[in-house]
Amino acid sequence: MTLFRSLIRAVSSMEFFTHAGATGVIPPAVRLLNAVSVTNNYIAETHGKTGMFATIFFGILDTETGVMSYVNGGHLPPMIINSRGEEKVLPRTGPAVGALPDVVFGIRTVQIEPGDTFFAYTDGLTDTVNAAGDYFSIDMVRPLLGTCALPALMAQIQQLVEEFAMGAHRLDDITLLAIRRT
């Protein structure tokens, strides 16, 4: 993961991989696609025989307008929940990064309105198993997403997972990200 993170960060910051438009600003879509494509090809060509890959959700959010451009390389689909509890799932736009060379990744744009909550999570959440062998379901988290304050939301999800697992050994780490536009 360190290699993927480092490559994505380095390439997305390197201006010579892109051509700025007349304004001198590199559009988010160009920045995203270049970073993911270069990372994908480097991993696939350099480490292809090792089977190295990663799922990636990589987005750029304009905090003024609420517009987020993103690439979802095989990651579990994040969601946006509005203040009425309505959910919009952000679909994958390509496969896992590093699995195959020369993949064409799609780019999507979504509007995050004031009051909306963006929620993303890793498979460690849904791979949590309890002593009975049952898997944790994202459906257990959904009712909390549009209603709780963000620090409380994270604490409540952590508590749900702990209670569900009842001390059972976890196979993977869990990463959660929640952003609410005010």
Q: How many CB atoms lie within 10 A of CB 108?
A: 16
| 95-125 pLDDT per residue, tens | 999 999 999 999 999 999 999 999 999 999 9
Rounded to an integer, what is the distance from CA 111 to the centroid of its chain? Answer: 16
Q: Which residues contact 84 (CB under 8 A, 6 or more apart)?
A: 146
Q: Which residues contact 91 (CB under 8 A, 6 or more apart)?
A: 72, 77, 108
Residue type, 144: L
| 17-63 pLDDT per residue, tens | 555 555 667 888 888 999 999 999 999 999 988 999 999 999 999 99
